Structure 1
Amino acid sequence: MPQAGNTFTIGLTMAGAVSAGAYTAGVLDFLFAALAAQDERDPQENDLRVVLKAMSGTSAGGVCTALAVPALINGVRPFHPGEPSLPILHRLWVEELDFLGDDARPGLVSDSDLSGPHLLSVLNGEAIEAAAGRVLTGVEWTGSTYPFLARDLDLFVTCTNVSGVAYCIPFDSRRPAVGHLMANHAFVGHYRLTGLGTADIGSPWLDIWRDAGVPLELPQAATPHAPARIDFHGEGTGWDSLRRMSIATGAFPFGLAAKPVGATGSHLGVLDPAAGAMSCGGAWPLEISPEARPLPLRHSCSASFGFVGVDGGMCNNEPFEIVRYCLRASDPEHPWKLLQNPREPEKADRAVIMIDPFPEGPDGAISQTVEDADLAMVRVLAALKATLLNQARFKPEELVAAIDDTGRSRFLISPSRDGKHGAKALASGFLGGFGGFLDESLRAHDFALGRHNAQSFLKKHFNLAQVHRDFGKLPGGREVNGDMESPILRLPDRLAADIPQPEWPRLNIERIQDLLEATRHRVAKVSARAMREVWRGRLWQSVFRAFWTGVGRAKFTRWLERTIISELIARDQVRELSSAAQSGSRAGAEAEVRRAALAALMAPGPDLRTVDGLAAQTGLSAADVQQALQRKPEHPLFEIWQGAEHKGRATFCLRRYSPRVTGQLPGLRHLHAWALGGVTYDIAQSR
């Protein structure tokens, strides 16, 4: 069933990203600017009109999904290379969320959250809520509408329900309440904004399930001369619920504080007679009759309940299928079935665009053998977390559909820069995605890269066949792999001029050391609080406090410090190590060797390394490593200390991490093994 007229309908899915939400925000910034500029094109040409019907997101993607609404209400600014088109998204992701913060805003490693009765998270979750409150203050609607939005714009934000919702599978029709119980922990908050868009595009899937979502009500009689303010803190309103859900979806387990989430049976699809037999959630992305679906236990349409909500990415890090079902057309021959979205380049009339800053996913390597050590209890337990997460996110239906690589019903926007992709192209692509919170310059880069990649995607990849079954012959055709294709969203001239790739950001050592000092302060506060809560007895508290203060905390903070600095060095994000290469005093290749060797020395691991060990770790030749170790240090932090030979090989480490006592007495280097007794060497020593 084709769309009415020359309308191409899209849905957006935004994956989890932690601090790389800045990249997702940048993609949205350019994409919405391009959608808003469609009326600037030549009306004489047979251009498609692209309309957005639905958005879904989880974790950082869920935050972007939720904040896109107030950003649109506030107005899409005309595109300018140096200014954001959606200031709210830029302000939150680039300016507000930071490790250090300042006097006006708490940072993620500040301690303003530690005065409560319980330790809630490793990082300061209050900083997230405070930032959301600041950017949502003063959002006003002037009454303006957008032709590129569906009149009913559907938003889906996921989170993980820690306790879960119980369902029963009966095996005896005579006793329907007796059967196999299972719990669903994946919660989806469905919200519907009506009136901001004007395009009349519905969703048969949601109609079949009678799911109208939680209403987001716009103020009445808003005008440019008398704009109406949106209250995101109004108790019991859809706006307050959306704000709360946007925080809960990003509550990274342990890292950020879990959040209480309130719901009713209607959120789970239990029909509410008072609402005209419509629910405010609960549609399942399955082709089954809604009447045949199982209902949750112990919940009714009027019962309210609460649960602890954490990161939506725990269960579904890419809620792609929700938006895909939202776009599907109805099957006129069956009351509850849906048609597949057309995939062929000459037939596709709707598509889901996924924005995924980290598309790499799990390591695809298959183990050839199983060693005895692999069966050890500790190693199996350590691997189970990734196993359960990956299985929860595995989607066979989407995998099968993706086999058709010519399909135009699904697209992906992911980071790309200088031949690097995914995390390697992002300035925030380290520390499990938390790296961007170290400094605003890292997030600013990723936001700008998102705009750059979004423009490239629309110009080069978001195409259909030039001659289309329903749309006729489209303008702007060009040959792609032997076929003539045309862009689905053709950019006006002012948006088509190439956006330059942002400069790669680098931090200086002083900034890094300030960050590390603040982090050490947070670690000390959190660890002391954790010991008080976990170990209630005074004796146990004294024992573990003595151990942690004397040994554990120093080892942990050193491990954290070395991890952060080594990753920054390896990614060429330390200014002192890049300035020499840029000035031409060393060739670029030599600078890369130097960085690789220093990153290996800095990384947690053996106390002392050999040239052979470093060569094996970095993939460099022993001669290159030896030469890199002999260079004059660019900063005292990178001064290299040479220890005594071990099994005929010289040993090295950074002076900052040299063995105690003997590290300060060069004349006694050969005594370091005796002095410590626990010095470790890299694996190359066993050859």
Structure 2
Amino acid sequence: MPTSENTFHLGLTMAGAVSAGCYTSGVIDYLFEVLDLWEKAKRGNVQGIDQNLVPKHNVIIDAMGGTSAGGMTTIISTLYALKGKLKPVKKIPENPMENQNVLYDSWVHLDDNEEKTFKKIWDVDDLDGELTSLFNSKVIDAIATKALDMGGDVNDFESYVSENLPRFISKDLEILLSHTLLRGIPLSVDFKTEIARRLKNSPMHNTFEHYLVSHFKLNSGNPVNENSYLWFNPFKEKYSDKIKLSTISTGAFPIGLAYRKFDNTQFSDEYIKSVTRRVIFGDFGSENPDVNHDIELNNYPENYSSISVDGGAINNEPYREVGSILRSKFHKDENEYQNYGLIMIDPFPDNDDIERKYKEPKNLLKVVPAIIQTLWNQAKVKRKEMLEQYNHDFFKGVIYPIKHRIINGEYKGRDKNPIISASFNAFGGFLDVNFRVHDFFLGRNNARNFVQYFGCIPYDPDNGNVHPIHREWTNEMVEKFKVSRRGDERIFLPIIPDLNLLLEGKEPGDDKYNYTYKGKPKYNPSELFKLKDNIYNRFKKVLDKGFDSFGEKTEEESETPISDALIRREYRRNWFQRMGDNVKSWVVGKFKNPVKKAIASMLSKFVIKSILEDLEQMEVLDDKAN
């Protein structure tokens, strides 16, 4: 029976990934597999496993959060768990388009059918209205709609959760998705003196919060206070619509994919105020953060609405938010063992090259992009997280792409480009289903190595250092699952014992260099050249829309009519200038279309060339193909 002593609580954070959601879903597939296998074995429901070797402690996932593709996978993982019957994808299907589970089907299949997803993102059937994105984003809607299909209605959600949710998932699971709002929430810093407080209008320092979190709670299947939380109930349209909107909007990669709109018909003003306070204090573990002074949102606009884009524009790894839930619920005194931990899944971890020389921008054309990069980096800086890593002693680990190269039985080092989805600025996974299959199984293999080796904590009984979850382990259990590291006399035991080791008669680390997908798939460049016209047409249509919208004149009444009149009088154009305007308009009209065609052709060539170069560096380009 779970107790505070024999239970370890986990939070999962899934970083932004664009098309590499296939990698993240592979990681989740393996984590859920080993947790489910372990739970079944503890109840004696797995043949071929010696019960004397089955550890009896518990691991429960209490919170999951993510951004972009990581946020979408967070939702899909929750839906997968709610379905009750887990079906891990252990082997590469002969037909990659065969249905497996919602993790695999959503991220490996994407929206492939008779027409491939990569072709669909260049379709122009979304450009009849406003120009909202560089790529056609209907595929994202299709993927979300398919994933959210739970196959029917459920009236008694509380009973459904109790009967179907795996034992390793908390019935009070909390789910966080991050968003970037283009219209910030106004915040004020009060500089009023005691005398100034008597004035009705006294200046204050104003700032804006552009970071929003969709904070869902499963709540054992019971409704929540909607002024503070969002109810995760995918069976009721009112709530599933909010889940879908949050899922799609967290993945709205800026410019590339269509932005989404939030307003108070989906998220009440009180909810947005409540979650904004949690964002500011960094405390998502309580409905109302415990602070000395509440934040007053006096300038909060009525009937608030905003465009939302990918949360990764501000926070691509919302691990502090997930960690705050765990700390609030489970943190103990500093001299006690902490019984919670955080695992981040990051397909594209940031690795700063300290040997890279700084190149100082020499002119304005180079300063401008440097400013943009500076603002983006500064928006994502994690000051509080850096300080808290020294103040909170709990388990933290990261699962990321790594693949070792073994050629003819000889070790050749790490693959410099282990994840194919990283190509084409992280959109490369859309290119080919076999790329996604490779990355999915790489995720599974990396998760296996993490669970068996890296996801371990010290076990040193001679010096009294034994975590409570390991105190009931027998010597046989310790011998079976223990690992060691070079230069350290201690041994380590896993938080999650991988009982596949018992079924397969293996030791931890036996499969460290063993990958389900051997090598890498090859891509025939002719498949890309077939889409040359599609890519060109998309760019041409986007340019058409862009030129048209740029030239539109609004009918709004001027706010500065006197200034406008003065400018018109001072710069009144003579007959010759007006004739020049007419000639210029004729020239622009005559040559605008050829110019747009030339630009579209240049852009399409640039995209194809960039993709081919990326694939060549990934060593997946089939140079023998015609």
Smaller-chain TM-score bracket: 0.7 to 0.9
2:115 aligned with 1:68: no
Which structure 2 residues correspond to residues 238-257 of structure 1 after superposition, within 5 A?
A: 238-257=239-258
2:83/2:150 contact within 8 Å kept = no
**In structure 2, C-alpha distance between the alignment counterparts of 1:495 and 1:521, rounded to whole Å:** 56
Corresponding position of 1:186 = 211
Deviations 1:625-677 (A, max 9, x none): xxxxxxxxx74xxxxxxxxxxxxxxxxxxxxxxxxxxxxxxxxxxxxxxxxxx
1:9/1:349 contact within 8 Å kept = yes
Which structure 2 residues correspond to residues 3-152 of structure 1 after superposition, within 5 A?
A: 4-41=4-41, 44=52, 45-82=54-91, 87-97=101-111, 102=115, 107-116=120-129, 118-140=130-152, 143-152=163-172
Corresponding position of 1:299 = 300
Corresponding position of 1:451 = 444
SS in 1 for 2:417: helix
SS in 1 for 2:344: strand
2:16/2:346 contact within 8 Å kept = yes
2:280 aligned with 1:264: no
**In structure 1, C-alpha distance between the alignment counterparts of 2:592 and 2:370, rounded to whole Å:** 27
Provide runs of 4+ in structure 1 moved above 6 Å: 83-86, 103-106, 420-423
1:413/1:457 contact within 8 Å kept = yes
Cα separation, partners in 2 of 1:375 and 1:293, compared to 1, 3 Å:
farther
Corresponding position of 2:468 = 470
Deviations 1:223-262 (A, max 9, x none): xxxxxxx24xx2xx23211110111111111101110013
Letter in 2 for 1:188: V
**In structure 2, C-alpha distance between the alignment counterparts of 1:469 and 1:95, rounded to whole Å:** 42
**In structure 1, C-alpha distance between the alignment counterparts of 2:451 and 2:179, rounded to whole Å:** 30
Deviations 1:386-411 (A, max 9, x none): 2112112221333345579x965110
**In structure 2, C-alpha distance between the alignment counterparts of 1:216 and 1:557, rounded to whole Å:** 42
Letter in 1 for 2:608: E
**In structure 1, C-alpha distance between the alignment counterparts of 2:414 and 2:57, rounded to whole Å:** 30
Cα separation, partners in 2 of 1:86 and 1:184, compared to 1, 3 Å:
farther
2:532 aligned with 1:520: no
Corresponding position of 2:576 = none
2:537 aligned with 1:532: no
2:228/2:274 contact within 8 Å kept = no
Corresponding position of 1:506 = 522
SS in 1 for 2:127: coil
Which structure 2 residues correspond to residues 368-379 of structure 1 after superposition, within 5 A?
A: 370=360, 374-379=361-366
2:146 aligned with 1:160: no
Cα separation, partners in 2 of 1:366 and 1:564, compared to 1, 3 Å:
closer
Letter in 1 for 2:516: Q
1:9/1:50 contact within 8 Å kept = yes
2:9/2:59 contact within 8 Å kept = yes
SS in 1 for 2:530: helix
Cα separation, partners in 2 of 1:291 and 1:516, compared to 1, 3 Å:
farther
**In structure 2, C-alpha distance between the alignment counterparts of 1:299 and 1:182, rounded to whole Å:** 12
Cα separation, partners in 2 of 1:424 and 1:76, compared to 1, 3 Å:
farther
Corresponding position of 2:402 = 416
Match of 2:337 among 341, 347, 352: 347
1:192/1:212 contact within 8 Å kept = no
**In structure 2, C-alpha distance between the alignment counterparts of 1:6 and 1:339, rounded to whole Å:** 14
**In structure 1, C-alpha distance between the alignment counterparts of 2:366 and 2:503, rounded to whole Å:** 52
TM-score, normalised on structure 1? 0.70
1:8 positional shift = 0.5
2:228/2:270 contact within 8 Å kept = no
2:76/2:147 contact within 8 Å kept = no
Deviations 1:366-395 (A, max 9, x none): 65674xxx2411111111222112112221
SS in 1 for 2:308: strand
1:457 positional shift = 0.8
Corresponding position of 1:226 = none
1:494 positional shift = 7.1
Cα separation, partners in 2 of 1:270 and 1:456, compared to 1, 3 Å:
closer
Deviations 1:63-115 (A, max 9, x none): 111222222222342435126997112112111246x9729998211122112
Cα separation, partners in 2 of 1:121 and 1:388, compared to 1, 3 Å:
same
1:134 positional shift = 2.5
**In structure 2, C-alpha distance between the alignment counterparts of 1:114 and 1:73, rounded to whole Å:** 37
Corresponding position of 2:592 = 544
**Deviates most, 26-35 or 66-75:** 66-75
1:189/1:281 contact within 8 Å kept = no
1:144/1:196 contact within 8 Å kept = no
Q: Indicate the structure whose relative CO is greater, using CA pairs within 8 Å and at least 6 residues apart.
A: 2
SS in 1 for 2:427: helix
Corresponding position of 1:678 = none
2:181/2:211 contact within 8 Å kept = yes
**In structure 2, C-alpha distance between the alignment counterparts of 1:330 and 1:367, rounded to whole Å:** 45
Corresponding position of 1:434 = 427
| Structure 1 unaligned blocks of 5 or more | 198-205, 219-229, 272-278, 332-337, 578-633, 636-687
1:299 positional shift = 3.4
Letter in 2 for 1:313: G
Which structure 2 residues correspond to residues 482-497 of structure 1 after superposition, within 5 A?
A: 482-493=489-500, 497=504
2:81/2:165 contact within 8 Å kept = no
1:133 positional shift = 1.4
TM-score, normalised on structure 2? 0.76
SS in 2 for 1:292: coil
2:117/2:431 contact within 8 Å kept = no
1:524 positional shift = 2.3
Question: How many residues are matched?
Answer: 528
Cα separation, partners in 2 of 1:163 and 1:306, compared to 1, 3 Å:
same
**In structure 2, C-alpha distance between the alignment counterparts of 1:103 and 1:252, rounded to whole Å:** 20
Letter in 2 for 1:356: D
Letter in 2 for 1:317: N
**In structure 2, C-alpha distance between the alignment counterparts of 1:285 and 1:562, rounded to whole Å:** 43
1:145/1:196 contact within 8 Å kept = no
**In structure 2, C-alpha distance between the alignment counterparts of 1:548 and 1:170, rounded to whole Å:** 51
1:573 positional shift = 1.1
| Structure 2 unaligned blocks of 5 or more | 43-50, 155-159, 406-412, 505-510, 554-584
Cα separation, partners in 2 of 1:423 and 1:526, compared to 1, 3 Å:
farther
Cα separation, partners in 2 of 1:160 and 1:571, compared to 1, 3 Å:
same
2:165/2:171 contact within 8 Å kept = no
Letter in 1 for 2:444: R
2:319 aligned with 1:320: yes
1:433 positional shift = 0.3
**In structure 2, C-alpha distance between the alignment counterparts of 1:28 and 1:39, rounded to whole Å:** 16
**In structure 2, C-alpha distance between the alignment counterparts of 1:260 and 1:101, rounded to whole Å:** 31
Letter in 2 for 1:459: Q
1:48/1:488 contact within 8 Å kept = no
Cα RMSD, aligned residues only: 3.5
Corresponding position of 1:309 = 308
SS in 2 for 1:79: coil
Cα separation, partners in 2 of 1:251 and 1:112, compared to 1, 3 Å:
same
Cα separation, partners in 2 of 1:212 and 1:182, compared to 1, 3 Å:
closer
Corresponding position of 2:606 = 559
1:178 positional shift = 3.4
